[in-house]
Amino acid sequence: MARSSALRQVDPAPSYVTFARPSIERGEIDDVIETLASGWLTTGPRVQRFEREFAAYVGAREAVAVNSCTAGLHLSLLASGIGGGDEVVTTPLTFCATANTVIHTGARPVFADVDPVTMNLDPAAAAAAVTPRTRAVLPVHFAGRPVDIGAFRALTARHRLVYIEDAAHAVETVHPEGKVGTTADFTCFSFYATKNLTTGEGGMITTASPEKAQWLRTAALHGLSRDAWKRYGPDGPAPYEVVMAGFKYNMMDLQAAIGLRQLARLDEMAARREAIWRAYDEALADLPLVRPAPAEAGTVHARHLYTVLVDPTICGWTRAELQQALHARGIGTSVHFQALHLHAFYAERYGLARGMFPHAEYISDHTLSLPLSAALTGAEFDQVIDALRAIFA
């Protein structure tokens, strides 16, 4: 059976293969211990350094660290002046946070269908969903594949809309228009435990506007004019004012300590995931599963998720049956995602129903994400492939 020599290494004996185990090495552990010993745990010098280094990596003018991508999306929408009566066009093929943050502003998420090959929001469908109430377009770089940034920038410019990118999957992603993080009014990244760069929980907002960045920092910490490092740090005590009713969305130095080490290892981890991705392509070539489409020319795919389509008319198994069969053989998988309009909450609140977004529905019904992370060993990869071959034998 096919194997990639790039994955060969000395491995422990296979056991249960988790879907996306984070790649945590001694450096991350040592830096967390050093942070604990420093006596400064919350937002402080490590967060400031993480913001600077992340902005440099992306090429953004400003980067604002927060405690989740969800917080980043919420703040970006608020910073754009979006509120009650407004509409935001987005994809139904995403995690619920993308739509929920729109709802939290008082606005309405308006879904448009996805491209069946890239699984990203279709610019033409998004354009058709624009109304006089539309204030922003919010696409998601699904699985790490860049959306058609040029088309969305043209759309938002034509209608004078805010352009916000959900880059939860896309920390390394590059499009011919530029590095993700520099191509929108606001870009929001996730550092959740399963992400390519993790801080356990955490996120980052990038923007070209220093004024918006300052607003984001203030709003992320209760609306205080000075954070704790400025109030209690080495420069001495300083008074503060509450200038808005803000939120508790700040990142801690404990998280930033992990993030700094992860950022330094990002290219190494990306190369590992690319090797696993290519090994999957090779090993699954003769199995009745629809593999992810190749990356488009001139782009960098962050390879966050390896999503296959499990169509029973092609392979004889439903997605649920295959997922359970893999679990029984010690393989963890995940589903990205059940389309949001198929969840009762959104369907009932906005009058949505099956049949409205057929491409998103087909993917939602058939997609299955196989184990993929920089921590996946060669033995674990072999265990996944052996399990699939046994199932389809």
Catalytic residues: 195
**At 2, which amino acid appears?**
A
- 316 contacts 306 by C-beta, under 8 angstroms: no
Nearest to 35 by CA among 197, 252, 257: 257
Using CA atoms, how far apart are residues 258 and 30, in angstroms rounded to an integer? 9
315-324 CB contacts, 8 Å cutoff, 24+ apart: 315/287, 315/288, 315/289, 315/392, 316/288, 317/391, 319/365, 319/366, 319/367, 319/368, 322/368, 322/391, 323/368
β-bridge partners, 262: none
| Cβ neighbour number for residue 175 with a 10 Å cutoff | 21
**Tokens linked to 223:** 């609306």
* Cβ 285 vs Cβ 2: under 8 Å: yes
User: Position of tokens 């265990």?
Assistant: 383
Residue 316 makes CB contacts below 8 A (sequence gap 6+) with: 288
For residue 85, the tally of other CB atoms under 10 A from its CB is 10
CA-to-CA dists, residue 263 to 30, 134, 194, 372, angstroms: 15, 36, 15, 19
Residues 31, 153: Cα–Cα separation, whole Å: 40
Which one-letter amino acid corresponds to residue 125?
Answer: A
Task: Answer yes or no: are the C-beta atoms of 52 and 259 closer than 8 Å.
Answer: no
**Ramachandran angles phi, psi of 132, nearest 5°:** -60, -20
CA distance 193 to 186: 23
Provide the 10 A C-beta neighbour count for residue 290: 15
Rounded Cα–Cα distance for residues 315 and 110 (Å): 34
In whole angstroms, give the CA distance from residue 299 to residue 177.
9
- In the chain, count of helices (H) and strands (E)? 15, 11
How many other β-carbons are positioned within 10 Å of the β-carbon of residue 325?
A: 16
